[in-house]
């Protein structure tokens, strides 16, 4: 039993003469149920192995947008489909699910900049010192998409980004990338870089996160995915690996059909 | 106000490689040991089982196993004329967090340093003369010799089960191994890992050019192995998720797979996780550590008194805690006086990217430490006289991974997005290859750590400030060895290759390695080192500081084998000398 393993003496703390063990108990009592708990843990006598202690990722579920508004989502789908356009062999960023991926990432810990150092003062430095923005990724998208929409409507006769011809979309993206196009109220180049990074993440990350639908990006390059044993293939040089990719979530054809 | 706990014999700050080794050695000698670890307990089954360990987004891109900068970070600037700014998200290096430390997520490249690396200043001065070295270079001898450390290297490698081929057995050069290495008292515990296509081609090309290629020593094991503690590791399956990841297979040497199952069963050992040490406490004289003060995850402060304090955190945090605790004189780059923060160094890496039409490399069949390497251009293995720089590195085809976000490379001139990019990725993923150099980084007067005047952590403690840039000597070295690497790569027959020597200013945003070094270095003189040759603080004799913190400069190899060897060296000094007569082991 876990509680025994980590040797928490089950005495009630007394007001006076509190023992060291009891003091620790007061801080450790909530932790005994999970080795990956965020709480302090006293380990003594044996490895702290509670049952079912794993922390697998939570698969993204299809459904409505979680972070983006409908208008933002339309723009993002158009953007990711130019950064990674469809071709006869492989769908583009939109059908790969890159917009869904970004939406769910922004709604979660990543979007909130959880875990990052967000204390001030916020001062711009050299490129070598890295990004010093006080904005979270979620805020940058809200700001960047609003500024992009304003720019498009002003420049292209009231049209939104999604309504532009592919050629115009690409020219605009190129301008953002090179710093030739500025956006009012947003860091245009920074927004482009963030968007490009997140789009590629969505394309290549495991499908459990909402992008790389049907492992299409892995099939495109010949990456077998979350496989774990290549011992029989290490010394088979210059030969194509024969097995199709698998995801952390398995493969679509592994799912047992209902009924 | 911290509540005081009953005293223990030994308190260890940080339960990674060095903390686990020291705890094992000292509990074996009968001492009561308490290890205090800032991060969580981690283990294979709960934190990185093969059901979901292969998650590039979670572990590589979102840094799941690493310390959170919100918890503590550092500030950085290239030189003293700049204002240092905080590292808000990790880039150039990945500070570890949790039980096992960097041992959980390393690539497991297990190299020994060369004999001359330990007498670097003396060796280079004797061979080339003092004037050959840049005036502001502050390299030093370590105060310990390779011969003294050899049994400790051996012990660490046999703990890990390291897979490799000896090149020098008791002075006899061995075919198939590294002929430039220092002597080994015995063969590696396990034979080398198998090699995929890229390293095999590299070795063929290198052999044709007259070099002596050898398999990289690997802590991802070629076969099952039971170490002297009775803990068994399984064979590596070449999944290609090593660095940044925990091994789901019990194949990568880590504290979890080599020591902890034995250590936690010792009745005189206890670990407290999610407890962050705030400072090392000193008595009124300032010459004796009385223990540490830490804060648990509920925000309660505790004082843990101890007779002996072992600082076993990651290099950066060892230096930070020394500065925060007021132990030793902080280094001043203006006068060159002071020892804490002195000789901060790093590693100089570079690569050659090659693109082929007719070869399939299957980059995903990988291990963090497979590969074929040559050592002709490392350390002082070649005459530096004509070149005007010192140092070097190993060159190799090291196939660490084929993870798509990290390893989909495209030729120079390809757009970064759009159809052309997409098609180039599809065309080149299986058919490109990256060979690498792993170069030394020597120390300089203006590269150091101190406390930042502006930024603080969540407890209001000053962050540590890193002032660091690459120097001309290192950039010349990188150019030279990258050129040599490109010659070998060219012989592999690519349609196109690109040399990428290290150039320009050190950039904190671009991942290079997590081999930060120095800041509280070992040596022979308390004026120029924080620790004596036994890793004992000159100022506070009941404090020992482990890890790459002690490296006076960095050699052209990955540091972990040397970190492990120094831990055994320090443990031996504590058990066989210090405990018999507590006090300074070397008279200043």
Give CA separation, B42 vs A38, B178, B216, B425, in Å.
Answer: 12, 35, 28, 36
pLDDT tens digits, A102-140: 999 999 999 999 999 999 999 999 999 999 999 999 999
* Nearest of B406, B429, B422, B516 to residue B61 by alpha carbon: B406
Order of strands across the sheet that contains B74-77: B85-86, B74-77, B462-467, B448-456
pLDDT of residue A48: 87
How far apart CA B271 and CA B117 sit, in angstroms, is: 35
Contact B167, B215 (CB under 8 A): no
Which ranges in A6-123 belong to alpha helices (H)? Answer: 20-28, 70-83, 93-96, 98-107
A131 contacts on B by Cβ (under 8 Å): 88-89, 509
pLDDT at B101 over 60: yes
How far apart CA A103 and CA A96 sit, in angstroms, is: 13
DSSP secondary structure, A215-226, as one string: GHHHHHHT--BS
* Nearest of B470, B464, B437 to residue B346 by alpha carbon: B470
* More confident of the two residues B529 and A52: B529
How far apart CA B343 and CA B348 sit, in angstroms, is: 15
The separation between CA B339 and the C-alpha centre of its own chain, rounded to angstroms, equals 21
Contact B423, A221 (CB under 8 A): no
How far apart CA A248 and CA A206 sit, in angstroms, is: 7
Angle subtended by helix axes A70-83 and A166-178, to nearest 10: 80
**Please, what is the average pLDDT of chain A?**
86
CA A234 to chain B, closest CA, distance in angstroms equals: 5
| B48-51 long-range contacts, CB within 8 A, separation 24+ | B48/B104, B48/B245, B48/B246, B48/B247, B48/B248, B49/A54, B49/B248, B50/A228, B50/B239, B50/B248, B50/B249, B51/A54, B51/A56, B51/A248, B51/B248
A242 touches chain B (CB under 8 A): no
pLDDT tens digits, B139-192: 999 999 999 999 999 999 999 999 999 999 999 999 999 999 999 999 999 999
**Contact between A238 and B359 using a beta-carbon 8 Å cutoff:** yes
CA B262 to chain A, closest CA, distance in angstroms equals: 9
How far apart CA A199 and CA B369 sit, in angstroms, is: 31
Number of H helices, E strands in chain B: 14, 24
A42 contacts on B by Cβ (under 8 Å): 270-272
Give CA separation, A130 vs A99, B92, B252, B287, B316, in Å.
Answer: 26, 10, 33, 40, 19
Contact B424, A89 (CB under 8 A): no
Degrees (nearest 5) of the Cα angle B134, B392, B557? 120
How far apart CA A146 and CA A259 sit, in angstroms, is: 47
Question: Which residues are CB-contacts of B540 (< 8 A; sequence separation ≥ 6)?
Answer: B280, B282, B286, B287, B288, B289, B309, B327, B328
pLDDT tens digits, B470-488: 999 999 999 999 999 999 9
pLDDT of residue A3: 31
Length of chain B: 588
**Contact between B271 and A42 using a beta-carbon 8 Å cutoff:** yes
pLDDT at A54 over 70: yes
pLDDT of residue A256: 63
* Nearest of B438, B437, B441, B439 to residue B518 by alpha carbon: B441
Mean pLDDT of A141-170: 98
How far apart CA B371 and CA B111 sit, in angstroms, is: 13
pLDDT of residue A257: 59
Question: Which residues are CB-contacts of A197 (< 8 A; sequence separation ≥ 6)?
Answer: none
pLDDT at A153 over 90: yes
pLDDT at A34 over 80: no
Local confidence band at A38 (pLDDT 50, 70, 90 cut-offs): low
Q: Tally C-beta pairs within 8 A across A and B.
A: 261
B8-13 and B301-311 strand pairing: parallel
- Closest B-chain CA to A40: B274
pLDDT at A36 over 80: no
The separation between CA B74 and the C-alpha centre of its own chain, rounded to angstroms, equals 18
For residue B173, the cross-strand partners are: B168
Contact B505, A130 (CB under 8 A): no
pLDDT of residue B588: 82
pLDDT at A22 over 50: no
pLDDT of residue A94: 98
CA B41 to chain A, closest CA, distance in angstroms equals: 6
Catalytic (active site) residue B438? no
Among B60, B123, B471, B515, the one annotated catalytic: B515
- Closest A-chain CA to B56: A205
For residue A43, the cross-strand partners are: B271
Length of chain A: 259
Portion 466-495 of B in contact with A at CB < 8 A: none
Which ranges in B15-76 belong to alpha helices (H)? Answer: 17-28, 44-47
Mean pLDDT of A72-81: 98
pLDDT tens digits, B403-424: 999 999 999 999 999 999 999 9
Percent of chain B at pLDDT > 90 equals: 99
* Both tokens assigned to B376: 């002709």
What sign results for the dihedral spanned by CA atoms B220, B224, B227, B233? positive
What sign results for the dihedral spanned by CA atoms B268, B272, B277, B279? negative
**Contact between B238 and A229 using a beta-carbon 8 Å cutoff:** yes
Contact B242, B264 (CB under 8 A): no
CA B115 to chain A, closest CA, distance in angstroms equals: 34
A117 touches chain B (CB under 8 A): yes
| Peptide linkage before A235 cis (omega within 30 of 0) | no
ipTM of the complex: 0.96
pLDDT of residue B13: 98
How far apart CA A184 and CA A56 sit, in angstroms, is: 41
């Amino acid at each position: 039993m876990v509680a025994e393993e980590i040797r928490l003496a089950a005495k009630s703390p007394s007001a006076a003469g509190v023992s060291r063990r009891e003091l620790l108990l007061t801080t450790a009592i909530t932790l005994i149920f999970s080795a990956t708990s965020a709480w302090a843990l006293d380990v003594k006598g044996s490895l702290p192995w509670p049952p079912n202690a794993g922390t697998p990722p939570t698969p993204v579920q299809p459904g409505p947008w979680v972070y983006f508004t409908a208008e933002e989502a339309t723009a993002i789908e158009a953007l990711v489909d130019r950064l990674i356009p469809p071709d006869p062999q492989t769908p583009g960023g939109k059908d790969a699910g890159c917009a869904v991926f970004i939406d769910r990432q922004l709604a979660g810990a990543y979007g909130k900049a959880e875990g990052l150092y967000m204390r001030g003062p916020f001062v711009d430095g050299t490129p070598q010192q890295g990004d010093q923005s006080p904005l979270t990724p979620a805020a940058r998208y809200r700001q960047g998409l609003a500024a992009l929409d304003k720019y498009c409507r002003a420049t292209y006769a009231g049209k939104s980004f999604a309504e532009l011809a592919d050629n115009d979309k690409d020219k605009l993206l190129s301008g953002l990338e090179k710093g030739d196009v500025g956006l009012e109220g947003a860091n245009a180049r920074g927004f482009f870089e963030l968007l490009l990074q997140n789009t590629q993440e969505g394309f290549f990350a495991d499908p459990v996160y909402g992008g790389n639908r049907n492992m299409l990006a892995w099939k495109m390059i010949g990456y077998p995915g979350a496989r774990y044993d290549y011992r029989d293939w290490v010394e088979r040089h210059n030969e194509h690996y024969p097995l199709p990719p698998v995801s952390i979530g398995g493969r679509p054809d592994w799912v047992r059909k209902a009924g | 106000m911290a509540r005081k706990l009953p005293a223990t014999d030994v308190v260890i700050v940080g339960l990674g490689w060095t903390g686990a080794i020291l705890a094992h050695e000292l509990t074996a000698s009968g001492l009561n040991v308490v290890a205090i670890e800032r991060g969580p307990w981690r283990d294979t089954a709960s934190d990185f089982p093969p059901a979901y360990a292969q998650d590039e987004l979670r572990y590589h891109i979102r840094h799941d196993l690493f310390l959170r900068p919100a918890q503590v970070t550092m500030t950085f600037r290239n030189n003293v004329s700049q204002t240092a700014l905080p590292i808000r998200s990790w880039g150039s290096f990945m500070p570890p967090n949790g039980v096992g430390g960097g041992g959980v997520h390393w690539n497991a490249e297990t190299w020994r340093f060369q004999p001359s690396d330990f007498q670097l200043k003396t060796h280079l001065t004797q061979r080339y003369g003092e004037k050959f070295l840049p005036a502001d270079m502050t390299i030093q001898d370590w105060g310990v010799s390779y011969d003294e450390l050899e049994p400790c290297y051996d012990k660490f490698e046999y703990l890990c089960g390291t897979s490799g081929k000896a090149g020098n057995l008791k002075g006899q050069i061995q075919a198939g191994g590294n002929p430039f290495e220092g002597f080994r008292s015995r063969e590696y515990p396990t034979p080398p890992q198998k090699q995929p296509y890229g390293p095999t081609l590299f070795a063929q090309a290198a052999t044709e050019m007259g070099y002596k290629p050898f398999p990289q020593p690997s802590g991802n094991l070629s076969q099952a192995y039971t170490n002297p503690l009775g803990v068994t590791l399984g064979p590596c399956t070449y999944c290609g998720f090593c660095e940044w990841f925990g091994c789901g297979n019990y194949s990568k040497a880590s504290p979890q797979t080599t020591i902890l199952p034995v250590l936690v069963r010792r009745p005189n050992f206890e670990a407290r996780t999610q407890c962050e040490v705030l400072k090392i406490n000193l008595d009124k004289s300032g010459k004796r550590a009385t223990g540490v003060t830490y804060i648990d995850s509920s925000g309660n402060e505790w004082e843990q008194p101890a007779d002996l304090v072992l600082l076993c955190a990651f290099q950066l945090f060892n230096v930070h805690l020394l500065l925060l605790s007021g132990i030793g004189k902080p280094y001043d780059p203006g006068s060159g006086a002071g020892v804490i923060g002195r000789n901060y160094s790093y590693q100089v890496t570079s690569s050659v990217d090659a693109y082929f039409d007719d070869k399939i490399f299957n980059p995903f069949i990988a291990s963090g430490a497979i590969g074929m390497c040559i050592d002709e251009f490392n350390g002082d293995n070649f005459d530096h006289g004509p070149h005007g720089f010192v140092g070097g590195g190993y060159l190799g085809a090291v196939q660490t991974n084929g993870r798509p976000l990290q390893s989909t490379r495209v030729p120079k001139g390809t757009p970064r997005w759009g159809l052309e990019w997409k098609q180039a990725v599809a065309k080149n993923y299986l058919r490109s290859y990256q060979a690498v150099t792993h170069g030394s980084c020597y120390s300089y007067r203006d590269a150091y750590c101190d406390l930042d005047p502006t930024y603080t952590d969540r407890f209001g403690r000053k962050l540590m400030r890193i002032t660091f840039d690459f120097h001309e000597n290192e950039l010349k070295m990188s150019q030279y060895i990258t050129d040599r690497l490109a010659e070998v790569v060219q012989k592999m027959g690519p349609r196109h290759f690109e040399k990428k020597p290290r150039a320009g200013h050190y950039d904190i945003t671009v991942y290079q390695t997590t081999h930060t070094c120095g800041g509280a270095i070992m040596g022979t003189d308390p004026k120029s080192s924080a620790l004596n040759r036994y890793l004992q603080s000159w100022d506070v004799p009941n404090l020992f500081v482990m890890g790459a913190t002690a490296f006076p400069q960095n050699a052209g190899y990955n540091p972990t084998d040397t970190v492990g060897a120094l831990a055994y060296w320090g443990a031996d000094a504590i058990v066989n000398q210090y405990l018999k007569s507590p006090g300074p082991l070397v008279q200043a």
